[in-house]
Structure 1
Amino acid sequence: MNRAHNFNAGPAALPTEVLETAQKELLNFNDTGMSVMELSHRSTDYEEVHNEAITLVKDLLEVPEDYEVLLLQGGASLQFSMIPMNFLEKGKAANYILTGSWSEKALKEAKYFGETKIGASSKDSNYKHIPALSDLDVSEEDAYVHITSNNTIFGTQWQDLNVASEVPVIADMSSDILSRPIPVDKFSLIYAGAQKNLGPSGVTLVIIKKDLLSNKKEDIPTLLRYTTHAEKNSLYHTPPTFAIYMLNQVLRWVKDNGGAAGMASRNKEKASLLYEVIDQSDGFYTGHADTNSRSLMNVTFNLPTDELNKQFLDEAKKAGFIGLNGHRSVGGCRASIYNAVSLESVKALQEFMISFRDKHQ
């Protein structure tokens, strides 16, 4: 069977080796005579998978000992509510740096729980760039500062993650987690839906500093408290066992392929192939993001006319390239080249882009 060139923005491509392992083990995991989906989450066989996944996250991201790693449900979108619910204190403001649609949604949810502010925004330029660190309005009176490290819709990414602050810094890293080494110790909380770089949808990774957990409000439902999950090793209730099994398999694959540094090298090579085509096309392809804010995960671009955009997407789909449609807010095209997207697929897209330009320029 021929595999598609999968450039979907999420759920996204998974490593072929991981899918093959899951296929092989689907009916009989670890000689249990059952699928991992059928195992009790209290069984030794499942707990080994669960604990290995947490250990691999700690190792691959060099998570300091004063952090907890949680495996939660509800997607990154539930974190938009859980964070202010747990950490937005009266008399303080939650500070959101707006760099795209997902940071806007996070801000919207925070407003239900208390005072908010916008510490910087690139909305006026249709989110073409990441604000400079020197332009951030951060105060000791902020409850926390929230950033979105990569913006799938607009194709921008924070190049410098050293967001210095006297207050907790929280990051939504759903679309670039483990795509490069990150300074975990610069953040009090990192969260990421798995369905782009870590595995299938269904599990959300949270890395949280233990001193943040000491902030215990009394009026939060049990399941929405971070302490609930930290105290029970993310096993307070039935976890998404198959999603965590797949997460563990992807983490093993990342480790076997050079870890976070290996992913960074791989992703830079892939992104450079596509940005080269854009930059050398004499304006036939126009990137949405400013050069110094470009994402290594989502390459966004437009052709000279809407008609050519449509023709490009139609011909690309017929040629086996899936998921290249840009988001409606920016239009055009988007190639999401997360960790598992192969270099071969990106090279094939590069050749297709060159060929299409040569025919229509």
Structure 2
Amino acid sequence: MRVYNFSAGPATMPVEVLERAQSELLDWSGSGMSVMEMSHRSKEFVGIAEAAEARLRSLLGVPEDYAVLFLQGGATGQFAAVPLNLAGPGATAAYVSTGAWSRKAISEAEKYLEVRTVADEAPTNYSTVPAEGSLQVPGDAAYLHYTLNETIGGVEFPYVPDAGDVPLVTDASSTILSRPLDVSRYGVIYAGAQKNLGPAGLTLVIVRKDLLDRARQETPAVLDWTAMAGAGSMLNTPPTLAWYLVGLVLEWVEEQGGLPAMAVRNRDKADLLYRAIDGSGFYSSPVEASARSWMNVPFLVPDPALEKPFLEAAAEAGLSGLGGHRSVGGMRASLYNAMPIEGVQALVDLMTDFEKQNG
């Protein structure tokens, strides 16, 4: 029996995708072998890879002057790849600090360049994002980096920051494919797959081609966007099974109506849960309303001693992955594309019953 999986990642996958992968596991399209057994140089896998890229470009509207890369190393690998590919020794880059993942990106970047933190939301305990139009980006910065959605803290930018002539870089790991995204506003978009794109093990990088050929000489080949773009993301053996599954997820998103349809269903799910939190005298949200994430919804009970009983009741009801990140506690519900609204309604019903019993 499948549960409703609210985990922040690796996260729930569309059942239709899992069933199709199951049916093709031993014999993909009459090849007599599994995708995980194929040579990545074979015409069969090259076809899988090309179809995935074409679907991604279509869904996101990726312009032709952008390269699309399917890499390894997670978004964490890109914390280093961004400065190594965009800034030479002695350069500076601007960063926005809105929570745990942007802080990790800053810490990694500081190994390679001078970081200028143009906004730090620490005074609000990372419950906000900077006001639109408030960022002062140095004109000599190699790029401006921000984390579109903080998976742990549940803080999300409701706007695209204005970086002026400085290339804009974003970690979109927990937002990618959840709604339309204007790729042309960015120099670089990167995202770990294990939330909306597919399983863990693959990382998407979308980079404007005029930003290629800037990598430092010491950049490892597997992190060098120019080298990877020239090799079709196959400079080394890629994560073939994950790439194939991402392709199936992209096909599923198309069948659901594309990103506009995803936006409607994701907005509806988030609204349903936030209404339950705000309409209660029992639960509370630690995030300012204007910065609340659609994808990751943290919430608190009035007494931390009630967290364990709540999670036990959730498990009994077939609701999994609701514990907050170990660094912040509380509860957190991740509402990625594959989470149906029925799962969110089941969570709201549990919250209502638990409040009646413990309020």
> TM-score, normalised to structure 1's length?
0.97
Q: Is 1:212–2:249 an aligned residue pair? A: no
Indicate the residue corresponding to 2:102 in structure 1. Answer: 103
1:162: how far off? 4.4
CA RMSD of aligned residues (A): 1.1
Q: Which amino acid aligns with 1:326?
A: G
Whether contact under 8 Å (2:87, 2:215) holds in the other structure is no
What SS does the aligned partner of 1:103 have? Answer: helix
Indicate the residue corresponding to 2:224 in structure 1. Answer: 225
Whether contact under 8 Å (2:65, 2:209) holds in the other structure is yes
Indicate the residue corresponding to 1:20 in structure 2. Answer: 19
| Matching of residues 272-291 of structure 1 within 5 Å | 272-282=271-281, 284-291=282-289
Provide Cα deviations, 1:166-221, integer angstroms capped at 9, x if missing partner. 10110000011010111111110000000000000010000000000032433323
> TM-score, normalised to structure 2's length?
0.98
Indicate the residue corresponding to 1:92 in structure 2. Answer: 91
Aligned positions, number: 359
Indicate the residue corresponding to 1:70 in structure 2. Answer: 69
Q: Which amino acid aligns with 1:289?
A: V
Indicate the residue corresponding to 2:140 in structure 1. Answer: 141
Indicate the residue corresponding to 2:198 in structure 1. Answer: 199
Partners of 1:301 and 1:330 in 2: how far apart?
11
Q: Which amino acid aligns with 1:292?
A: S
Q: Is 1:125–2:124 an aligned residue pair? A: yes
Q: Is 1:242–2:241 an aligned residue pair? A: yes
1:85: how far off? 1.3
Partners of 2:166 and 2:120 in 1: how far apart?
19
Whether contact under 8 Å (1:161, 1:182) holds in the other structure is no
Indicate the residue corresponding to 1:353 in structure 2. Answer: 351
Provide Cα deviations, 1:32-78, integer angstroms capped at 9, x if missing partner. 11000011111111111101111111110001111000000011100
Choose 98-107 or 219-228, whichever is displaced more. Answer: 219-228
Indicate the residue corresponding to 2:314 in structure 1. Answer: 316
Q: Is 1:182–2:169 an aligned residue pair? A: no
Structure 2: gaps of 5 or more residues: none
Partners of 1:247 and 1:102 in 2: how far apart?
23
Partners of 1:177 and 1:142 in 2: how far apart?
26
Choose 285-294 or 217-226, whichever is displaced more. Answer: 217-226
1:90: how far off? 3.8
Partners of 1:338 and 1:63 in 2: how far apart?
22
Indicate the residue corresponding to 2:332 in structure 1. Answer: 334
Whether contact under 8 Å (1:162, 1:183) holds in the other structure is no
Q: Which amino acid aligns with 1:358?
A: K
What SS does the aligned partner of 1:29 have? Answer: coil
1:91: how far off? 4.5
Partners of 1:263 and 1:338 in 2: how far apart?
10
What SS does the aligned partner of 2:153 have? Answer: coil
Choose 323-332 or 202-211, whichever is displaced more. Answer: 323-332
Whether contact under 8 Å (2:133, 2:161) holds in the other structure is no
Q: Which amino acid aligns with 1:287?
A: S
Identity over the aligned pairs, expressed in percent? 48
Partners of 1:310 and 1:116 in 2: how far apart?
40
Q: Which amino acid aligns with 1:294?
A: R
Partners of 2:180 and 2:222 in 1: how far apart?
31
Partners of 2:219 and 2:109 in 1: how far apart?
15
Whether contact under 8 Å (1:30, 1:45) holds in the other structure is no
Partners of 1:86 and 1:339 in 2: how far apart?
31
Whether contact under 8 Å (1:56, 1:252) holds in the other structure is yes
| Matching of residues 152-163 of structure 1 within 5 Å | 152-163=151-162
Provide Cα deviations, 1:320-342, integer angstroms capped at 9, x if missing partner. 11000011332110000101111
Partners of 2:185 and 2:49 in 1: how far apart?
26
Structure 1: gaps of 5 or more residues: none
Partners of 2:294 and 2:219 in 1: how far apart?
38
Provide Cα deviations, 1:81-140, integer angstroms capped at 9, x if missing partner. 111112123443111100110110110011111111101011121110111132212111
Partners of 2:144 and 2:17 in 1: how far apart?
36
Choose 84-93 or 14-23, whichever is displaced more. Answer: 84-93
Whether contact under 8 Å (1:75, 1:204) holds in the other structure is yes
Partners of 2:54 and 2:162 in 1: how far apart?
26
Choose 10-19 or 134-143, whichever is displaced more. Answer: 134-143
What SS does the aligned partner of 1:24 have? Answer: helix
Q: Which amino acid aligns with 1:146?
A: H
Q: Which amino acid aligns with 2:33?
A: M
Whether contact under 8 Å (1:13, 1:341) holds in the other structure is yes
Provide Cα deviations, 1:207-253, integer angstroms capped at 9, x if missing partner. 00000003243332333211111111111121110000000000000
Choose 128-137 or 42-51, whichever is displaced more. Answer: 128-137
Whether contact under 8 Å (1:161, 1:183) holds in the other structure is no
Q: Which amino acid aligns with 2:251?
A: R
Indicate the residue corresponding to 2:113 in structure 1. Answer: 114
1:319: how far off? 1.4
Aligned structure 1 segments of 4 or more residues deviating by more than 6 angstroms: none
